[in-house]
């Protein structure tokens, strides 16, 4: 369990608002305490309040905390619906339920819950990442997914987050899984394999044993929307082409092609999605699609920065390195 806890915490804290040294100490403490179910650790720098103060260049700046996941999920559910699953498995006094599945050819989303069978409340701390998105400080120590038509269990391309706890008096926590759907057919069965639980309460780390293995159908509506752009701009290091925008239920991504030096230059510092409302959604990550780095996929800030479900009709332009590419 120790190695699993280390990996889980390392993944979960990658975006948390904690100094690097604090993250390292927390992981080292967790893996040292063999047989211990509770680990005393650092003070949390995040609170359940609406704002948190963070030190920036010797001055205090105010970081606004948002329930981005729930806000965007609620927006999507107003005009769409997922495919019900209602599949549960219990072990070690805890029940994992997969409630519904939705998505498209690019991403698969799973909504689920983790419940205490004794009916007691969790008392789990809130946490926030560097972008101001609020979560519940909990997770599974290890997760794997068996993809249809593949023989091996994989966790590559998966992301799991526990939503903010809007009802702290009950015994249930909500989570959402996002899977890279590149290898998923629109039909067939997949299997979620979840091992162990970690959570934070009153500034202390706890781990729980357990094993949950749930097979679920991946059948879903293809609710994704593709907008072909095919516009090229010239930068100092070469040219890049915005091939298309892809609108998923809770996220927006962009496909680019061009010269490697231009795609991976400093220009990314001024790149974002510009909405007709005037809101900006900054780019968050990019990944290579082909071997020579001349095709990449860029993801804008996860959960659309809490602005709700976004479609092609909501977008005015994509700004790359300060250059605006209009979206018709």
The DSSP annotation for 267-297 comes to GGGG-EEEETTS-EEEEEEEEESSTTSSEEE
- Of 201, 217, 233, the residue at which a domain comes to its end is 217
- Does residue 9 carry a pLDDT above 50? yes
Listed in sequence order, the residues at least 6 apart from 34 whose beta carbon sits closer than 8 Å to its beta carbon are: 2
- Of 197, 217, 237, the residue at which a domain comes to its end is 217
- Does residue 182 carry a pLDDT above 80? no
Q: Are both 184 and 231 inside the same structural domain?
A: no
Instruction: Please count the structural domains in the chain.
Output: 2
Q: Are both 179 and 305 inside the same structural domain?
A: no
Residue with the larger pLDDT of the pair 142 and 62? 142
Residue 235 dihedral angles phi and psi, to the nearest 5°: -115, 175
Q: Are both 257 and 316 inside the same structural domain?
A: yes
- Does residue 151 carry a pLDDT above 70? no
Q: Are strands 107-116 and 272-275 parallel, antiparallel or unpaired?
A: unpaired
Highest mean pLDDT range out of 59-68, 243-252, 286-295?
243-252
Q: Are both 50 and 112 inside the same structural domain?
A: yes
Share of the chain above pLDDT 70, in %: 76
Is the Cβ–Cβ distance between 92 and 209 less than 8 Å? yes
Rounded to two decimals, the pTM is: 0.79
- Does residue 325 carry a pLDDT above 50? yes
Q: Are strands 204-217 and 38-40 parallel, antiparallel or unpaired?
A: antiparallel
Mean pLDDT, the chain, whole residue set: 81
Residue 263: what pLDDT? 85
Residue 79 DSSP SS3: coil
Q: Are both 55 and 158 inside the same structural domain?
A: yes
Residue 17: what pLDDT? 41
Is the Cβ–Cβ distance between 63 and 77 less than 8 Å? no
Domain that holds residue 169: 2-217
Residue with tokens 């072909």: 228
Digit-coded pLDDT (tens) for 69-122 = 999 999 999 999 999 999 999 999 999 999 999 998 889 999 999 999 999 999
Torsion sign over Cα 75, 76, 80, 84 = negative
Q: How confident is the model at residue 37 (pLDDT cuts 50, 70, 90)?
A: low
Mean pLDDT over 205-211 rounds to: 97
Q: Are both 202 and 259 inside the same structural domain?
A: no
Q: Are strands 138-146 and 189-201 parallel, antiparallel or unpaired?
A: antiparallel
Torsion sign over Cα 221, 71, 301, 41 = negative
- Does residue 6 carry a pLDDT above 70? no
Q: Are both 37 and 159 inside the same structural domain?
A: yes
Alpha carbons 108 and 215: distance in angstroms, whole number: 15
- Of 217, 249, 270, the residue at which a domain comes to its end is 217
């Amino acid at each position: 369990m120790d190695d699993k806890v280390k990996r889980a915490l390392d993944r979960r804290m990658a975006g948390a608002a904690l100094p690097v040294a604090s993250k390292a100490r927390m992981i080292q403490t967790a893996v040292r305490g063999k047989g211990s179910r509770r680990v005393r650790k650092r003070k949390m720098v995040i609170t359940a309040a609406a704002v948190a103060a963070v030190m920036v260049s010797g001055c205090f700046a105010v970081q606004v905390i948002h329930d981005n996941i729930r806000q965007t999920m609620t927006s999507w559910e107003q005009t769409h619906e997922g495919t019900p699953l209602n599949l549960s498995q219990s072990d070690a006094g805890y029940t994992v339920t997969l409630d519904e599945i939705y998505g498209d050819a690019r991403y698969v989303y799973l909504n689920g819950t983790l419940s205490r069978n004794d009916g007691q409340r969790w008392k789990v701390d809130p946490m926030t990442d560097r972008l101001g998105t609020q979560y519940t400080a909990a997770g599974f120590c290890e997760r794997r997914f068996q993809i249809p038509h593949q023989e091996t269990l994989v966790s590559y391309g998966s992301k799991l987050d526990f939503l903010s706890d809007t009802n702290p008096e009950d015994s249930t926590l909500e989570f959402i899984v996002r899977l890279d759907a590149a290898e998923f057919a629109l039909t067939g069965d997949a299997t979620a394999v979840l091992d162990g639980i970690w959570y934070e309460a009153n500034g202390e780390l706890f781990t729980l044993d357990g094993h949950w293995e749930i097979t679920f159908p991946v059948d879903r509506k293809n609710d994704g929307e593709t907008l072909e752009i095919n516009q090229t701009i010239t930068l100092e290091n070469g040219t890049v082409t915005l091939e298309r925008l892809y609108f998923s239920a809770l996220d927006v991504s962009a496909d680019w092609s061009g010269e490697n030096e231009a795609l991976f230059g400093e220009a990314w510092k001024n790149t974002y999605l510009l909405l007709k409302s005037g809101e900006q959604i900054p780019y968050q990550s990019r990944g290579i699609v082909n071997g020579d780095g001349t095709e990449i996929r860029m993801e804008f800030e996860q959960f659309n920065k809490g602005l709700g479900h976004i479609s092609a009709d909501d977008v005015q332009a994509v700004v790359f390195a300060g250059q605006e590419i209009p979206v018709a």
